[in-house]
Amino acid sequence: DMGNGKVRAAGVGMSMQGSGISGIDVGSVTIKLNDDGTYMLIIGAADMGTGCDTILAQMVAEHMDCSVDDVSVFGADTDASPYDSGSYASSTTYVTGMAVQKACTQLKERLCAIAAEALECDANELSFEDGRVVREATGEEMSLVDVATKSQVSNCLAPEATAMHSSPVSPPPFMVGMAEIELDRETGVVEVLNYASVVDCGIPINPALARIQAEGGIVQGIGHTLMEDVTRTPKGRIRESSLFTYRLPTRLDTGRIRVEFENSYEPTGPFGAKSIGEIVINTPAPAITQAIYRATGVWHRELPILPEHIVLAKPEE
Same domain, 77 and 189: no
**Amino acid occupying residue 34:** N
Q: Are 275 and 20 in contact (CB under 8 A)?
A: yes
The answer to whether position 245 is within a domain reads yes
Q: How far apart are the first and last CA of the chain?
A: 23
d(CA 255, CA 181): 9
Mean pLDDT within 203-222:
95
* Average pLDDT across the chain, whole number: 94
Which of the four pLDDT bands, split at 50, 70 and 90, describes residue 108? very high
List the domain range (segments joined by +) for residue 303: 6-19+171-312
Measured from the Cβ of residue 306, the count of other Cβ atoms closer than 10 Å reads: 17
Q: Which residues contact 140 (CB under 8 A, 6 or more apart)?
A: 119, 134
d(CA 199, CA 207): 11
Same domain, 176 and 161: no
pTM beyond 0.85, yes or no: yes
**Is beta strand 256-261 parallel, antiparallel or unpaired with respect to 190-200?**
parallel
Q: Are 72 and 36 in contact (CB under 8 A)?
A: no
Q: Are 60 and 100 in contact (CB under 8 A)?
A: yes
CA angle 207, 75, 35 (to 5 degrees): 100
- Determine the longest span between alpha carbons in the chain, in angstroms: 86
Which residues are bridge partners to 182 per DSSP? Answer: 8, 191
The answer to whether position 52 is within a domain reads yes
Residue 304: is the preceding peptide bond cis (ω within 30°)?
A: yes
> What integer pLDDT is reported at residue 317 of this predicted model?
58
Same domain, 206 and 305: yes
The answer to whether position 317 is within a domain reads no
> What integer pLDDT is reported at residue 75 of this predicted model?
84
> What integer pLDDT is reported at residue 77 of this predicted model?
85
Mean pLDDT within 58-75:
95
Q: Which pairs count as long-range contacts for 59-64, CB under 8 Å and 24+ apart, including other chains?
A: 59/97, 59/100, 59/101, 59/104, 59/205, 59/270, 59/271, 60/31, 60/100, 60/104, 62/271, 63/100, 63/101, 63/104, 63/105, 63/108, 64/39, 64/104, 64/107, 64/108, 64/128, 64/131
Which of the four pLDDT bands, split at 50, 70 and 90, describes residue 79? confident
The answer to whether position 92 is within a domain reads yes
d(CA 199, CA 20): 17
CATH of the domain at 140: 3.30.365.10
Taking the CA of residue 121 as centre, how many other CA atoms within 13 Å lie in the half-sphere pointing to its CB? Answer: 18
Asked if the model's pLDDT at residue 101 lies above 70, the reply is yes
Same domain, 11 and 67: no
Mean pLDDT within 156-181:
96
The answer to whether position 234 is within a domain reads yes
CA angle 306, 218, 245 (to 5 degrees): 40
Which residues are bridge partners to 142 per DSSP? Answer: 133
> If we measure between CA atoms, which residue out of 179, 201, 207, 198 comes closest to residue 285?
179
Render the burial of 151-169: b for 16+ CB within 10 Å, e for the rest. beeeeeeebbbbbbbbbee
Q: Which of 74-83, 202-211, 301-310 has the lowest mean pLDDT?
A: 74-83
Domain-ending residue, one of 122, 141, 165 = 165
Marked catalytic residue, from 140, 278, 302, 316 = 278
Which of the four pLDDT bands, split at 50, 70 and 90, describes residue 50? confident
Alpha helices in 166-277 (DSSP H): 207-226
In tens, the pLDDT along 147-166 reads: 999 999 999 999 999 999 99
Tally of domains within the chain: 2
Same domain, 85 and 120: yes
> What integer pLDDT is reported at residue 127 of this predicted model?
94
> What integer pLDDT is reported at residue 197 of this predicted model?
97
Mean pLDDT within 126-132:
93
Mean pLDDT within 54-59:
96
The answer to whether position 184 is within a domain reads yes
Q: Which pairs count as long-range contacts for 311-315, CB under 8 Å and 24+ apart, including other chains?
A: 311/186, 311/187, 311/188
Does residue 278 have an active-site annotation? yes
